[in-house]
């Protein structure tokens, strides 16, 4: 492969990765917002979509941060690892919570797909 082909492949891979990340985050917002809204005082319902957005953004940011540190020869220590695990578990838990509370195992499986794709796609970027 020549340099042009490699750059083209990298652009396609990057676009596909961000498509997966964007889709997973949108799905998470749509899945978690009703749950958050149901457990939020009525006057604060408008804040419900913020939680899944912040958690999923944290997953992506900490993984990107780790990748940049690795490229620069740095090491964030244990905290980025802890943050990756914490945010990954949070997004998975938030997405499956409504189905889990209803003992809907199929719903749990269906709602686990997007956060797991987000987590694995983000980790693969490392």
What integer pLDDT is reported at residue 90 of this predicted model?
Answer: 93
**pTM of this structure:** 0.81
What integer pLDDT is reported at residue 105 of this predicted model?
Answer: 97
What integer pLDDT is reported at residue 125 of this predicted model?
Answer: 62
What integer pLDDT is reported at residue 39 of this predicted model?
Answer: 93
- SS3 state of residue 76: coil
For 27-38, the pLDDT digits (tens) are 999 999 999 999
Quote the CA–CA distance of 59 and 105 in Å, as a whole number: 25
Quote the CA–CA distance of 94 and 112 in Å, as a whole number: 9
Assess contact for 63 and 56: CB atoms under 8 A: no
Extract long-range pairs of 66-73: CB within 8 Å, 24+ residues apart: 66/126, 67/125, 67/126, 70/126
Quote the CA–CA distance of 36 and 46 in Å, as a whole number: 10
Question: What stretches in the chain show pLDDT beneath 50?
Answer: none
């Amino acid at each position: 492969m020549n340099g042009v082909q490699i750059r083209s492949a990298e652009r396609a891979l990057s676009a596909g990765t961000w498509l997966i990340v964007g889709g997973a985050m949108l799905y998470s917002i749509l899945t978690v917002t009703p749950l958050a809204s149901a457990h939020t005082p009525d006057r604060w319902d408008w804040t419900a979509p913020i939680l899944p957005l912040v958690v999923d953004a944290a997953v992506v940011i900490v993984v990107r941060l780790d990748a940049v540190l690795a490229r620069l020869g740095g090491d964030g220590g244990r905290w980025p690892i802890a943050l990756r695990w914490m945010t990954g578990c949070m997004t998975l838990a938030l997405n499956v919570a409504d189905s889990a509370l209803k003992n809907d195992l199929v719903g749990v499986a269906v709602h686990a797909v997007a956060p797991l794709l987000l987590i694995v796609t983000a980790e693969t970027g490392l």
